[in-house]
Amino acid sequence: MAVLRVASVDHVSTAPLRLVTAEDRHVQIASTIAVPTIENEAQLKALIASLSGVDAVGAEARAAKLSTRSIKKSTKLAAIEMAISMIDLTTLEGADTPGRVASLCTKAMRPDPRDLTVPSVAAVCVYPDLVAHARSVLGSSPVAVASVATAFPSGRASLQVKLMDVRDAVVAGADEIDMVIDRGAFLSGRLGQVFDEVVAVKEACGDAHLKVILETGELVTYDNVRRASWVAMLGGADFIKTSTGKVTVNATLPNALVMLEAVRDFAETAGRTVGVKVAGGIRTSKDAIRYLVVVNETVGSTWLTPRLFRLGASSLLNDLLMQRLKQQRGAYVRADEFSGD
């Protein structure tokens, strides 16, 4: 029985044929704005209500499928280095001291002192009262200083107090502000208040860029995550961020997926690219790479830069360094190969 040989040839047709090109896979950032200016809460609520719901089963299935991507060899090395450059190296403990922060900053600038080809991280992330010290240790290094603010992590204080928190951090030299939304206001339906606070904080930021923490673990449903993402973006967020890292459930792949979809849709209707930061519970290189895959396959290469994607983590950095070394040496390495902090 002969095997029919058929070559896969493009054939020419005369019927209407809309050529699909590689460009079609990309996010089309809108040149004309298709999102109304928000003038009052009713308008905001109407816009939010018009957003599509999220089917939890479908979203989780998509995230799980993306987790099966097999990232090996040179892709893995590139992903590891990309991840390192996207880290906001974080210390947010009551027990933080100038010594601790100095140690962190040194590591941030030079994660592996024996190998200067390792990129520095994107930023360090600290409490407002340690910003000045971090700034002085970092000097003119390209590593940015991100400060949490607005009564992090709970956000439970008056707007006045929260704005003062922001201003102090900015005056002290913060390049980036990570604020928290008022989850109580959100969950009780006061979207206007959430929006107003984002706008006010953005103004108080001055030149600093603003990350808005949604606290997805407290919002619970993916519908809420989508809605909160939009409120934050409409309010002027430069980044939307999953979590404070201080609650039981922090960053998860499905939440990141929903936020990236929101960011994509926002870019296509409002013409502005907003970044995404995932934070809390990301410990291994495998985790980090999974997030990069989700970014890659949801919004594409435009977002694969520290300007638009960040990983808020602390112990992750060492795992990335270990994996990088393992790729180079071809054998598993010890944790003590790298500094503890």
Partner 1 sequence: MPTCAPTNSAGTDVSDRQLANSQLGSLQYDPAPESAAIAKLRPSYGLFIDGEFSDGDAHLQFATVNPANEETLSMVTLASAVDIDRAVTVARRAYDKVWSKTTGAQRSKYLFRIARLIQERSRELAVVETLDNGKPIRESRDVDIPLAAAHFFYYAGWADKLDHAGFGAKPKPLGVAGQIIPWNFPLLMAAWKLAPALAAGNTCVLKPAETTPLSALVLAEILEQAELPPGVVNVITGDGSTGAALVDHPDVDKIAFTGSTEVGRMIQQRTASSHKHLTLELGGKGANIVFDDAPIDEMIEGIIDGIFFNQGHVCCAGSRLLVQESVADEVLRRLVRRVEQLRVGDPLDKNTDVGAINSAAQLLRIREMTDFGESEGATRYTSSCALPPKGYWFAPTVFADVAQSHRIAREEIFGPVLSVLTFRTPAEAVAKANNTNYGLACGVWSEKGSRTLWVAERLRAGVIWANTYNRFDPTSPFGGMRESGFGREGGRHGLEAYLNV
Residues 291, 311: contact at Cβ < 8 Å? yes
Nearest to 57 by CA among 256, 254, 296: 254
Q: Output DSSP code: residue 113.
A: T
Query: Which 303-332 positions form the footprint of partner 1 (CB under 8 A)?
Result: 304-308
Q: Output DSSP code: residue 34.
A: -
- Give me the residue label for tokens 């095997």: 3
User: Residues 163-182 vs partner 1: string with x where CB under 8 A?
Assistant: ------------xx------
Give the SS3 label for residue 166: helix
Query: Which 197-226 positions form the footprint of partner 1 (CB under 8 A)?
Result: 199, 207-209
Q: Give the shortest CB-23-to-partner 1 separation in angstroms.
A: 9
Which is closer to partner 1, CB of 58 or CB of 98? 58
> How many chain residues touch partner 1 (CB under 8 A)?
89
Q: Which residues contact 291 (CB under 8 A, 6 or more apart)?
A: 251, 253, 256, 278, 282, 311
Query: Which 72-91 positions form the footprint of partner 1 (CB under 8 A)?
Result: 72-76, 78-79, 81-82, 85-86
Distance CA 257, CA 315 (A): 23
Query: Which 5-44 positions form the footprint of partner 1 (CB under 8 A)?
Result: 5-8, 11, 13-22, 24-25, 33, 35, 37-41
Query: Which 236-275 positions form the footprint of partner 1 (CB under 8 A)?
Result: 236, 238-239, 258, 261, 270-275
Q: Which residues contact 172 (CB under 8 A, 6 or more apart)?
A: 128, 129, 131, 132, 135, 147
Annotation says 277 is catalytic: yes
Sole window of 54-62, 94-102, 130-138, 333-341 interacting with partner 1 (rule: CB under 8 A): 54-62
Q: Give the shortest CB-4-to-partner 1 separation in angstroms.
A: 4
Residue 109 binds to partner 1 (criterion: CB under 8 A): no
Strand partners, 144: 123
* Identified catalytic residue from 238, 241, 287, 319: 241
Sole window of 178-186, 280-288, 298-306, 329-337 interacting with partner 1 (rule: CB under 8 A): 298-306
Annotation says 178 is catalytic: yes
Which is closer to partner 1, CB of 15 or CB of 95? 15
Distance CA 309, CA 276 (A): 5
Residues 323, 337: contact at Cβ < 8 Å? no
What positions carry a catalytic annotation?
A: 178, 241, 277
